[in-house]
Chains A and B, each alone.
Chain A
Amino acid sequence: MIQPVVEAKQVNKVYGGKGNVYTALDQIDLTVQEGEFVGIMGPSGSGKSTLLNMLATIDQPTSGDIVIAGTSILKMNEEQLSIFRRDRLGFIFQDFNLLDTLTVRENILLPLALAKMNIHELERRVDEIADKFGIRQILDKYPTHISGGQKQRTAASRAIVSKPSLILADEPTGALDSKSATDLLESLRDLNEQDKSTILMVTHDAFAASYCKRVLFIKDGRMFTELVKGHANRKEFFNKVLDVLSVLGGGISDVI
Chain B
Amino acid sequence: MTLFDIAKKNVRGNLRSYLIYFVSMIFSVIVYYTFVSLQYSEEIQGSLQSSEVMRSVFMGASIVLILFVSVFILYSNSFFTKKRKKEVGLYSLLGIRKKTIGRMLFYENLIMGTAGLAAGVALGTLLSKLFTMIFLKLLDSAIEVSFGIAWEAIVNTTLVFAVIILFTSFRAYRLIYRFKLIELFQADKEGEQAPKASLAAAVIAVILLSGSYWLAFQPMVTSQQMGRNFLLFIGGMIVGTYLLFRFAIGRLLRASQANKSRYYKGMKIVDTSQLLFRITGNTRTLTMIALLSAVTLSAAGVGYSMYYSNQQNADEAAPFSYSFISTGGSLDQQAERIITEDAKHPVMAQMDIPVIVIKGDVSALSYVPSGFPADELPLKLISARAYNKASGALNRKENVGLSGNQAAAIRSRYSGDLTLSDYKGHSISLITPQEKRTVTFVSLLEENVLRWSYPDVSIVVSDSVFNEIARHISPVIYKVYKVEDQQTTKEVTNQLTKMAAEDVQMSSYYTVYREGLENAGLNIFILGFLGLVFLAATGSIIYFKQLTEAHADKARYDILRKIGVSRKEVRASVAKQTFFVFALPLAVGIGHSSMILKALTSINLIVGSVAVPIITSMAVYVVIYLAYYMLTVHSVNKIVNN
Contacts and interface: CB of A to CB of B under 8 A. Distances in A.
B277 A101 contact: yes
Interface string A76-92: 00110111111101010
B418 to A, nearest CB: 57
B564 A113 contact: no
A79 B559 CA distance: 16
A99 B566 contact: no
A100 B194 CA distance: 10
B190 to A, nearest CB: 13
Contact of A79 (B193, B267, B560, B568): B568
B273 interface: yes
A102 B273 CA distance: 6
Interface stretch (A103-111, A146-154, A206-214): A103-111
Contacts of A91: 562-563
Given A110-B269, A114-B266, A142-B194, A58 B561 contact: yes
Interface in B535-585: 556, 559-569
B276 interface: yes
B563 A119 contact: no
A186 B580 CA distance: 44
A78 B566 contact: yes
B177 interface: no
B269 A85 contact: no
Given A101-B556, A106-B273, A142-B194, A111 B261 contact: no
Contacts of A110: 269-270, 563
A99 B564 contact: no
A82 B571 CA distance: 14
Contact of B559 (A56, A87, A99, A109): A99
Interface in B460-475: none
B16 interface: no
A225 interface: no
B264 A122 contact: yes
B429 interface: no
B498 interface: no
Given A102-B273, A114-B267, A97 B559 contact: yes
Interface string B171-211: 00000000000000000000011100000000000000000
Given A114-B266, A116-B266, A85 B564 contact: yes
A122 B569 CA distance: 21
Most buried by B among A82, A91, A119: A82
B397 interface: no
Nearest to B259: A119
A76 to B, nearest CB: 11
Contact of A89 (B269, B564, B568): B564
B563 A109 contact: no
A112 interface: yes
B565 A82 contact: yes
A158 interface: yes
Nearest to B560: A99
A150 to B, nearest CB: 17
Contacts of B565: 82, 86, 114
B562 A58 contact: yes
A117 to B, nearest CB: 8
B562 A85 contact: yes
A162 to B, nearest CB: 9
A84 B270 CA distance: 20
A83 B566 contact: yes
Nearest to B556: A99
Contacts of A93: 562
B265 interface: yes
B274 interface: yes
A202 to B, nearest CB: 15
Given A86-B563, A101-B276, A119 B264 contact: yes
Contacts of A158: 563
Interface in B275-311: 276-277
B337 interface: no
B569 to A, nearest CB: 7
Nearest to A112: B264
Contacts of A98: 559
Contacts of B193: 142
Most buried by A among B261, B277, B559: B559
Given A101-B276, A111-B564, A116-B265, A82 B569 contact: yes
A114 B271 CA distance: 12
A255 B194 CA distance: 39
A119 B260 contact: yes
Interface string A157-190: 0100000000000000000000000000000000
A142 B269 CA distance: 14
A112 B268 CA distance: 12
A181 to B, nearest CB: 22
A61 B228 CA distance: 73
Interface string B584-618: 00000000000000000000000000000000000
Contacts of A100: 192, 556
Contact of B269 (A58, A79, A102): A102
A81 to B, nearest CB: 8
B277 A85 contact: no
Contacts of B562: 56, 58, 85, 91, 93, 97
B563 A85 contact: yes
Contacts of B192: 100
Contacts of A142: 193-194
B278 to A, nearest CB: 9
Contacts of A86: 563-565
A158 B563 CA distance: 9
Contacts of B194: 101, 142
A83 B265 CA distance: 15
A113 B567 CA distance: 17
A91 B273 CA distance: 22
A109 B566 contact: no
B641 to A, nearest CB: 11
Most buried by B among A81, A84, A102, A116: A102
A87 B264 contact: no
Contacts of B569: 82
B258 to A, nearest CB: 13
A87 B273 contact: no
Contacts of A84: 564
A101 B274 contact: yes
B266 A113 contact: yes
A53 B534 CA distance: 48
Contacts of A85: 562-564
B554 to A, nearest CB: 13
A101 B275 CA distance: 9
Interface in A204-255: none
A99 B569 CA distance: 17
A44 B229 CA distance: 72
Contacts of B268: 113
Nearest to B192: A100
A122 B263 CA distance: 12
Nearest to B568: A79
A89 B564 CA distance: 9
Complex A-B, nearest 9 residue pairs according to Cβ-Cβ distance, in ascending order = A86-B564, A82-B566, A85-B564, A119-B261, A101-B273, A113-B264, A101-B277, A97-B559, A113-B269
17 contacts: A56-B562, A78-B566, A79-B566, A82-B565, A82-B569, A86-B565, A98-B559, A99-B559, A101-B276, A110-B269, A110-B270, A113-B266, A113-B269, A114-B266, A114-B267, A114-B563, A123-B260
Given A111-B563, A119-B264, 6 more contacts: A81-B566, A93-B562, A101-B556, A112-B264, A113-B264, A114-B564
